[in-house]
Chains A and B, each alone.
Chain A
Amino acid sequence: MQDQTDQLLRRILTDVLGLKDGLAENFTPDTGLFGHLPELDSMAVAGLLTEMEDRLDIVIEDDDIDGEMLETYGGLLAFAEAKRSGS
Chain B
Amino acid sequence: MTPLGWPNPLPGGASAEEYAIAFDRGRERRLLIVPALFDEANRMRRFSLEVMRRLDASGIDSVLPDLPGTNESLEQLETQSIGSWCSAVAAAVQFFGATHVLAIRGGCLLMPQGVPGWLYAPAKGGSILRQMLRARSLASREAGREESREGLTTLALTDGIELAGYRIGPQLFVDLEHAEAPEREGLTLVEQGLVGGAGLWLRAEPGESREQADALAAVLAIGMQS
Interface of B is mostly: helix
Least CB distance, B145 to chain A, in whole angstroms: 13
Q: Is A51 an interface residue (CB 8 A)?
A: yes
Contact: B204 with A39, CB < 8 Å?
yes
Q: How far is the CB of A54 from chain B (nearest CB, A)?
A: 9
Q: When chains A and B are docked, how far (Å) is the Cα of A65 from the Cα of B135?
A: 12
- Please tell me if the beta carbons of A42 and B135 are within 8 angstroms of each other in the complex: yes
- Which listed residue (A18, A37, A46, A67) contacts B203, Cβ 8 A? A18
B154 to chain A, nearest CB (A): 15
Inter-subunit contact A49/B204 (CB<8 Å)? no
Contact of A41 among B148, B203, B204 (CB under 8 A): B204
Do residues B204 and A46 form an inter-chain contact, with CB atoms below 8 A? Answer: no
A48: chain B residues at CB < 8 Å are 204
Question: Which residues 6-52 of A sit at the B interface, judged by CB distance below 8 A?
Answer: 14-18, 37, 39-51
Q: With CB as the reference atom, state the residue of chain A lying closest to B150.
A: A62
Q: Which 10 interchain pairs have the tightest Cβ spacing?
A: A15-B198, A44-B204, A46-B135, A42-B139, A46-B134, A39-B204, A42-B138, A43-B135, A18-B207, A42-B135
B204 partner residues in chain A, CB cutoff 8 A: 16-18, 37, 39-41, 44, 47-48
Query: What is the CA–CA distance of A48 and B138 in the complex, to the nearest angstrom?
Result: 12
Q: Say yes or no for B39: interface residue by CB 8 A criterion.
A: yes
Nearest chain A residue, comparing its CB with the CB of B133? A46
Contact A50 B134 (CB under 8 A): yes
Q: What chain B residues lie within 8 Å of A44 (beta carbons)?
A: 204
Q: B141: which A residues are within 8 A, CB to CB?
A: 65, 67
Complex contacts, A18 vs chain B, CB 8 Å: 203-205, 207
Residues of B within 8 A of A43 (CB): 39, 132, 135, 164
